[in-house]
Structure 1
C-alpha cells in the first residue's frame, strides 16, 4: 500500500482490496474511536489493543512507512527512466483488480450499471482535472491531508493524484524530505480526521448497499485506467523541487500517436509483457488468498 500511494494514479486501497485486507482495515479503523473512549481512557490497554485490532494496524502501518522510506527513491527513478514499462505494469494491475472486485458482487442485476457508470465517469473526470497551485498554509495542509487519505482508502482513486490536482504533492514531499515536523503533524491530523470519517462511512455503506458500493468502486478503478495509460502527451510542465522540468498535465494517446509525436519507440511488446506481469500478480495474490481461506 505504501509503494502504491507514492505513485500518483495508483491507489493503496486497490492494493488492500486485492490482498484481501480491505474490510479488516475498515473495521479496525472504524473501531478505533470507540476503543479509545471505552478502554484506553480507562487504562485497559489490552482490551483497547484487541478492540481496534492493534497488531494488524501496527503491522500495516510499519509496512506502509517502511515501503515509503525504502521504495520512494526507487519508484521515482523507475518512473523517470522507464515510464512506459512501469505504467504498463500498473495498468495490468488495475485491470486485474477490476475483474477481482467485480467478482465480489453477490447478485448481478441491470440496476448495478448505474453506480458502475457513475464511478467510471467520476474517476475519469478526476484524472482529467488540471493541476492547480494552492498557497501551502496550515489550513491547506490539513484539508489536503483529509482529502488525500479519503482517496487513498478508496480503490481506484489515488491520494497522491489528489495532491497533484490540489498542487500540494510537491509541498508535502518537501515537508517529508525536510522533516518539517509541525507541518507534517498538521497534514497527519487532516489524514486522521478524513480516515476516521470515510472508514465508518464506507463500512456503513457496505453493510447496507454491498453490491452497489462494489459496482461504484469497480467504476472508480475503470475510470482510473486513464491516469495509468502508458502513452501520454504532455500538455504543460512544472518545475520540481530539484529545479527540473517535469510533466504537469498530460493526455492519453495511442502507441502509434506517441511514436509519431515523440519519435521514440513505444515499446509495445515490452509494455504488454509488463501489463501481463501486473495482471498475473493480482491473480497470484488472489489464488494465494483463496487457498489460505480454504
Structure 2
C-alpha cells in the first residue's frame, strides 16, 4: 500500500518519495537539500497508511460539518452569535486565521492555475465542511427556528441563556492570566455588549445598497462572539427581508447580502487575527465581556417598559408554570451540553496533537 508521511522532522527544502512496501516499518524516504542532485542526508521517517490518513480527514470533516451546523443555527437566531459556537467548539482561532488568509496572493495563485497552493492557502479541508454545515443549517432550519421563536419563545430563550452562560466559562479559560488589563478589557466588552441590546429596531427600505450594508454589519457580528448578526439585522429592519429571501430563494437579495458579508468578514478577520496574535489574553477577555453584556437579550423572562418602543426589563417568572420550569430545565441542560462539548473537543485536540 502506498503511504504518506506524517512526520517530517527536518528543516529546509525537502524531497519526499514514496514506495510500496511489503515489509513492516517505514515505507517512505525523505531527503533534504536544494534538489534531488544536492542531497545532504537521507533518512527513513515514521509513516502512516493512506487509509488511516484519509480516515482521520473524514472524521475531522464530519466534526467540522457539525460545528458548522451549530454556527448556522446560531446565526439564524436573533441574540445568538455563530462566533460563540466557534469559541465553544474550539475552532475560533483557526476560523479567524483561515478567513484572514484569503487574500490577493490566493487570488493570484487561483488565476495562475496553482490549485494546490490555493487549497493550502484557503485551508479548504477546514473551510469547506464548515461552510457546508453553516449553509445547510441556514437553509433547512430557518423556518423551524422562526416557528419555535414565534410559538415557544420562552423555552428557546431559556436554552440559549444556558448555552451562553456556560460559554462564558469556556472562553474565560482561554484568557490565561487574569489581571487589570484583562479585567478592563472585560468591562469594556460588557459595556459594548449591553449597549447593543438596547438598540431599537428601525424600518428601512429595500434599496440594493442597504442589503450590502446589512451584509457588512452582519459579517462583523457573526465572527464576534456575543454580538448577534441576526439581532443587528433586526435592528436595521433587514432580518425578515433576508430570512424571506432565503426561504423564497431570492438570489438577487441573497447575492447583494453576500457581497457585503464577504467584504466585511475578510477585512475584519485580519483585524481579529492581528489582535489575537499580539494581545490574545486581552482580546479573549474582551470577548468574555461582550458575551456577558449581551445575555440580557436572550433572558427568557421579560417585562415591557411603558413609554418605550421595544424596551424591557429582565425579571423572574411570576408564575412557575410548566413553561417556566421547562425554560430553566433547558437552561441547565444547554449549559451541561456546552461543558461536555468543550471537554470532548479538548480531548480530540489533544489526541490530534
TM-score by length of 1: 0.90
Tell me what 2:265 maps to: 195
* Distance in structure 2 (CA, Å) of the matches to 1:188 and 1:293: 32
Q: Displacement of 1:180 after TM fit?
A: 2.3
Query: Relative to structure 2, which stretch is displaced further, 104-113 or 224-233?
Result: 104-113
CA offset digits 1:117-145 (Å, max 9, x no partner): 11111111111111011112111111110
Partner SS, residue 107 of structure 1: coil
Tell me what 1:267 maps to: 323
Tell me what 2:281 maps to: 211
Tell me what 1:180 maps to: 250
Q: Is 2:220 the counterpart of 1:150?
A: yes
Tell me what 1:284 maps to: 340
Q: Is 2:76 the counterpart of 1:13?
A: no
Tell me what 1:57 maps to: 127
Quote the RMSD (CA, aligned, Å): 1.8
Query: Relative to structure 2, which stretch is displaced further, 131-140 or 160-169?
Result: 131-140
* Distance in structure 2 (CA, Å) of the matches to 1:24 and 1:131: 33
Q: Is 2:112 the counterpart of 1:45?
A: no
Q: 1:96 aligns with which of 147, 153, 166?
A: 166
Q: Is the 8 A contact 2:143 2:247 kept in 1?
A: no
Partner SS, residue 131 of structure 1: coil
Tell me what 2:141 maps to: 71
In structure 2, runs of 5+ residues without a counterpart are 1-70
Which structure dedicates a bigger proportion of its chain to helix? Answer: 1
* Distance in structure 1 (CA, Å) of the matches to 2:97 and 2:324: 42
Q: Is the 8 A contact 1:14 1:156 kept in 2?
A: yes
TM-score by length of 2: 0.75
* Distance in structure 2 (CA, Å) of the matches to 1:90 and 1:22: 19
In structure 1, runs of 5+ residues without a counterpart are 237-247
Partner SS, residue 171 of structure 1: helix
* Distance in structure 2 (CA, Å) of the matches to 1:235 and 1:36: 52
* Distance in structure 2 (CA, Å) of the matches to 1:267 and 1:176: 31
Q: Is the 8 A contact 2:88 2:170 kept in 1?
A: yes
Q: 1:26 aligns with which of 76, 96, 104?
A: 96
Tell me what 2:302 maps to: 232
Tell me what 1:254 maps to: 315
Rg (Cα) greater in structure: 2
Q: Name which structure has the greater RCO, CA cutoff 8 Å, separation 6+.
A: 1
Q: Displacement of 1:177 after TM fit?
A: 2.7
* Distance in structure 1 (CA, Å) of the matches to 2:91 and 2:105: 20
* Distance in structure 1 (CA, Å) of the matches to 2:299 and 2:143: 22
